[in-house]
Amino acid sequence: MKESAIYVHIPFCDHKCIYCDFYSIVTKDNISNYLGAITKEIINYAKEFSDGQVYKSIFFGGGTPSLMEPDYLKDIINCIKNYYTVSDDAEITIETNPGTVDKNKLLEFIKSGFNRISIGVQSFIDEELKFLTRIHDKDLAINTIENAASVGFENINLDLIFNLPGQSVKNWMYNLETAVKLPVKHISAYSLILEQGTILNKMVLDGRTTLQDSDYDAEIYNITMEFLNRNGFIQYEVSNYAKPGYECRHNKAYWQYKDYLSFGTSAHSFVNGKRWWNYSSLKKYIHNINNLGKAVANFEILTQEQMLNEYVMLALRSDGLNMIKLEEKFGNGWLNSAMSTLKMLERKGLLIIQKDLIRLTQKGYSLCDKILEKIL
């Protein structure tokens, strides 16, 4: 059977952080109506995508899924399991923010079926958290991680953001040193990106804050790669590090160009070379699901060239491009034409070509976007 993944979007938040560009809404209206709509969408798509697929991952993102009552999310998990083939050892992840869960709620999430938790810490420095408009402080972040471990979450991820305005190397090192002392198996470390339409973007345009330059960003990134690898967190994607065996199965489905279904507002799906996405508006989503059975805003059917480019890009951003699998999917035309450039990049120490695998080096990761521009 073909391995696939499922994503569920929970758009509800208690407030909007200044850097966030994901679809989220600060309201409790329509929470029960949304549950009804999302379960209808799940059931409706089962007619097309339940046969020949085994789902190895279910990921609840947002928004802030942990704001919901555990039984609310349990109903969605049970609906998926009732209508799709979900493997017995499936990775089932919930995103949470410190300040939205206590020990009892974390335990209830485990009872609901979750076996992996991703905690949006972002920083362990209170001043940085205030700038990012997070609702928690350092102590609450640490307590949330320790509580998650104590109730039985073995597979814990924490998110960190680096290169904040004015952030020193010393402060970033403090964040990394604090993170590796905690009972986590996975760390996602992202550079602060200025996204159009965010509050942060307006702050920069108004001159209220200034982002640091790309050279400093590269320095912090190199420090991050070296430190986490030294501390047993193996880099398996540009921004992700894990203890051996704890790589995020859901994210790897994206990077390995596997099919995935997504449910809820603004959710994107990709199956057999077709990509489609739902309306972002909560009310429009609910209306369309209830009246039409689907809430697709638009779709695209990718060409072979587009799929090849995406396949190569995602593979090189993660744990490497398997040349045999590439030829099975797309033939050997691109590989033959790109090989001289790839060997030149190898001589420069940016990638390694070994047996059937092409993978970026640490130096290559730091120049990933430029490398992809050169070879695609």
Asked whether residue 248 falls in the same domain as residue 369, the answer is no
DSSP single-letter state for residue 66: G
Note whether 53 and 90 are within 8 A (CB).
no
Note whether 140 and 102 are within 8 A (CB).
no
Domain end point (choices 220, 255, 290): 255
Domain assignment present for 294? no
Asked whether residue 76 falls in the same domain as residue 187, the answer is yes
Note whether 126 and 150 are within 8 A (CB).
no
The angle that helices 304-317 and 368-375 make with each other, rounded to 10 degrees, is 150
State the average pLDDT over residues 332-360.
95
Name the CA radius of gyration of the chain, rounded: 21
Sign of CA dihedral 245, 250, 254, 259: positive
From 251, 260, 101, select the one nearest 187 (Cα to Cα): 251
pLDDT digits (tens, 9 = 90+) for 287-336: 999 999 999 999 999 999 999 999 999 999 999 999 999 999 999 999 99
pLDDT digits (tens, 9 = 90+) for 13-65: 877 775 666 667 767 788 999 999 999 999 999 989 988 899 999 999 988 99
Domain assignment present for 297? no
Asked whether residue 61 falls in the same domain as residue 208, the answer is yes
Asked whether residue 244 falls in the same domain as residue 319, the answer is no
> What is the residue whose two structure tokens read 């999430």?
109
Domain assignment present for 93? yes
Asked whether residue 209 falls in the same domain as residue 341, the answer is no
Asked whether residue 209 falls in the same domain as residue 315, the answer is no
Please count the structural domains in the chain.
Answer: 2
User: pLDDT at position 17, please?
Assistant: 73
User: pLDDT at position 214, please?
Assistant: 86
> What is the residue whose two structure tokens read 């947002």?
62
User: pLDDT at position 18, please?
Assistant: 59
Asked whether residue 219 falls in the same domain as residue 322, the answer is no
User: pLDDT at position 29, please?
Assistant: 80
Asked whether residue 52 falls in the same domain as residue 121, the answer is yes
Domain assignment present for 38? yes
Domain that holds residue 356: 304-375
pLDDT digits (tens, 9 = 90+) for 129-165: 998 888 889 999 999 999 999 999 999 999 999 999 9
pLDDT digits (tens, 9 = 90+) for 167-186: 999 999 999 999 999 999 99
pLDDT digits (tens, 9 = 90+) for 67-86: 999 999 999 999 999 999 99
User: pLDDT at position 21, please?
Assistant: 64
pLDDT interval class at 212 (50, 70, 90) = confident
Asked whether residue 242 falls in the same domain as residue 323, the answer is no
Domain assignment present for 266? no
Give the domain CATH number at 201.
3.20.20.70
pLDDT interval class at 235 (50, 70, 90) = very high
Domain end point (choices 196, 230, 255): 255
pLDDT at 200 over 90: no
Alpha-carbon gap, residue 360 to 374, rounded angstroms: 14
Give the domain CATH number at 365.
1.10.10.920
State the average pLDDT over residues 223-229.
97
State the average pLDDT over residues 272-281.
96
Asked whether residue 197 falls in the same domain as residue 319, the answer is no
Domain assignment present for 260? no
Asked whether residue 229 falls in the same domain as residue 80, the answer is yes
The proportion of the chain whose per-residue pLDDT surpasses 90, expressed as a percent, equals 84
Q: Looking at 16-20, 256-260, 273-277, which range is the least confident one?
A: 16-20
Asked whether residue 216 falls in the same domain as residue 343, the answer is no
pLDDT averaged over every residue in the chain: 93
Domain end point (choices 240, 255, 270): 255
pLDDT at 207 over 90: no
Q: What are phi and psi of 301, to 5 degrees?
A: -105, 115
Domain assignment present for 318? yes
Domain assignment present for 321? yes
User: pLDDT at position 197, please?
Assistant: 73
The proportion of the chain whose per-residue pLDDT surpasses 70, expressed as a percent, equals 96
Burial 144-171 (b: 16+ CB within 10 A, else e): bbebbbebebebbbbbbbbbbeebeeeb
